[in-house]
Chain A
Amino acid sequence: MAGESGSGKTTIARMILRAIEPDSGTVNFEGQEITNQQDHLRKIRLGCQMVHQDPYASINPRMTVLDIVKEPLDIHSIGNKKERNKLVLQALSQVNLEPVEEITAKYPHMLSGGQRQRVALARAIVTKPKVVIADEPVSMLDVSVRIGVLELMKNLQEKLKISFLYITHDLATANYIGNRIAILYLGKIVEIGPINEILSSPRHPYTQALIDSISYPDPENLKRDKKIHINDPIDVDVYQGCRFRARCPYAIEKCKQEPLLEEISEGRQVACFVKIN
């Protein structure tokens, strides 16, 4: 799920886990609507785990790695003490934190940013969830450690058959681990579908602008002009009709009406009257 700050990415994650109450609409998990009933909440909060953006804030500095990773097992009363410890060790080795025994005794301040994020990932997979929501999991990490964490997520997805909801503003890393992508703009999905199709031939002007704005390391960039097709008005927030209208260079009269997501090919939807090509 990609979009800029304030586009609602994190809000969606929090609504899935019912950390906040939706005004309307439903969340269905494994064929069941999730409501406020205790057993529903338990079910979603066991089967769907979260990894937050900042590994310096999301793990408790006064707990050891063992206790941090074990906490979800305690909360959901999974196994006895011995089994829990075994699951913790297993999860830590799955996220490549070796030597496992040594790591369990450590406190977060003894770990680097990349290692902390691996601890957060271990905590997320220890309950064997179906879905892990990863909210900008690498944006706080150093460039050289980022790709290692992404690689790990990709491996976990393949090996443990965990679905990932990867929330990001970075299309390139989304492409690295995702199969499908949803592009959000001011709280609306403007385009959704298979990731390689969308990134190779975007139909929504906003998706196009996002792709244009990426700079790859390339010596030719110096000579090239950077072209991003957006307007730059003072007042950009529009909540009636198409929300991208004020910045959209392709806007037409009809865009004052609300565009709905419509299917343009199998599994691919776009909310735009113009649909650039």
Chain B
Amino acid sequence: MVFLSVNDLDVQYQSQGKKVHAIDHISFSLQEKESIGIAGESGCGKSTLGLAIMKTLQENASVSGEILFDGKSILAIPDPEFTKNIRWKQISMVFQGAMNSLDPVFTIKKQFEEILKKHDFHEDYKQVIESAISSVGLPRSVLDKYPHEISGGMKQRVVIAMALILKPKMVIADEPTTALDVLVQAQIMTLLKNLKKSGLGIMLISHDLGIISEIAEKIGIMYAGQIVEFGLLSDIYKNPKHPYTFALLNSIPSLNNTTKITSLKGSPPSMTNLPSGCRFYDRCPQAMEKCKKEPPKVMTSSGFVMCWLYE
């Protein structure tokens, strides 16, 4: 069953008189209990995608297209109803850098209670909070602490527990391990892996293709506001089709020196001044004359690629 389906989603920000086309008509779908990774560099629109699904975009954003979550069209649901029935109850989010937004003057427990109050939760607070905190492998004693008393890794777990507290079916995690130390990073990934095994759908937004492969069956590669390649992670990692995907996978050094790594020239285009045609044109080692025109969306065995090479 299709669980999440994003059809022709388009988001534009209005900023200082300029239009920023953060998400340009993207589409993909996900089955129940499947997890997806959204990979791309800074400014490619991956966080905007997460925020659009949560309906938490800023006011200067205009959204069009359709997001179907569990059969319901999210964008068509009025905001109060979305807050009441879906946000945090069906789908929740671990925001980027969220561990730094814990309120320093309240205990962790108070901050959990605030979420429950906001979402009109009337059952036993104590029990759900304790089960959430133990689901992320933290001792109950953490609840009585203030944010400054616990480490970065523990704060990140608290934030993940907050996202899980109302037992959503899906969690969007935006760079959940960035800014954490390497060992702690790996521990958080292990935690997400276990949560996934227990049936949670995860959308992992990251620039790190390595950590995405720890939990995602499917992956979307974003470049300058578009998903340029989408499909099963195993297909894409073994046989990347888009030259950008290929370059990303080949730019990662490993501990054994056998793999040859290649670098990409140039940098991503400015989102306020996007080139027409293929957005990767300037940097693509295989660019051709026809790449100056908008690339076609070509179906692959498990998804699609936006590239003239496969037309």
Interface residues of A (CB under 8 A from B): 4-5, 112-115, 142-148, 150-151, 169-173, 175-176, 196, 199-200, 209-219, 221-222, 225-226, 228, 230, 232, 234, 236, 247
Q: Please name all residues of chain A whose beta carbon is closer than 8 Å to the beta carbon of B73 when the two chains form the complex.
A: none
Q: How far is the CB of B43 from chain A (nearest CB, A)?
A: 8
Whether B264 lies near A148 (C-beta < 8 A) is yes
Measured between C-beta atoms, what is the minimum distance from B268 to chain A in Å? 7
A57, B293: Cα distance in complex, Å: 38
B263 touches A147 (CB 8 A): yes
Q: Using a Cβ cutoff of 8 Å, how many contacts connect chains A and B?
A: 129
Q: Are A144 and B254 in contact (CB under 8 A)?
A: no
Bound complex: CA A211 to CA B254 (Å): 11
Residue in A143, A146, A148, A199 whose Cβ sees the most chain B Cβ within 10 Å: A143
Identify which of residues 154-213 in chain B touch chain A, using a CB-to-CB cut-off of 8 Å: 181-183, 185-187, 189-190, 193, 207-213
What is the bound-complex CA distance between A176 and B211, given in angstroms? 20
Contact pick for A211, options B212, B255, B267, CB 8 Å:
B255
Are A4 and B254 in contact, with the CB atoms below 8 A?
no
Of B2-10, B55-63, B89-97, B214-222, the one contacting chain A is B214-222
Question: Which 9 pairs from chain A and chain B are nearest by CB?
Answer: A213-B186, A215-B210, A219-B234, A148-B263, A217-B209, A112-B267, A4-B181, A142-B41, A176-B253
For A247, the chain B residues whose CB sits under 8 A away are: 183
B82 contacts across to A, CB distance below 8 A: none
A210 to B255, CA, bound (A): 12
Per the bound structure, the CA–CA distance linking A117 and B216 in Å amounts to 33
**Pick the contact of B217 from A145, A146, A173, A222 — CB < 8 Å?**
A222
B residues sitting closer than 8 Å to A (CB atoms) are 41-42, 137, 139, 151, 181-183, 185-187, 189-190, 193, 207-217, 233-234, 237-238, 244, 247-249, 251-257, 261-265, 267-268, 283
| A213 pairs with B253, CB closer than 8 A | no
Could you name 5 residue pairs across A and B whose Cβ atoms are closer than 8 Å?
Answer: A4-B181, A142-B41, A144-B41, A213-B183, A219-B233
Q: Please tell me if the beta carbons of B255 and A114 are within 8 angstroms of each other in the complex.
A: no
Is the pair A230, B247 in contact by a Cβ cutoff of 8 Å? no
Whole-angstrom CA separation of A208 from B268 in the bound complex: 36
A200-B256, A215-B186, A219-B234 known; 13 new pairs, CB 8 Å cut-off, are A5-B181, A115-B267, A143-B207, A145-B263, A147-B264, A199-B255, A200-B255, A213-B185, A213-B186, A214-B255, A217-B237, A218-B210, A228-B183
**Which B residues are CB-close (under 8 A) to A169?**
181-182
Distance in angstroms between the alpha carbons of A166 and B300 in the assembled complex: 42
A276 nearest CB across to chain B (Å): 16
B250 CB → nearest A CB, Å = 9
Choose among A142, A199, A230 the residue that contacts B183 (Cβ–Cβ < 8 A).
A230
CA distance A172 to B283 in the complex (A): 25
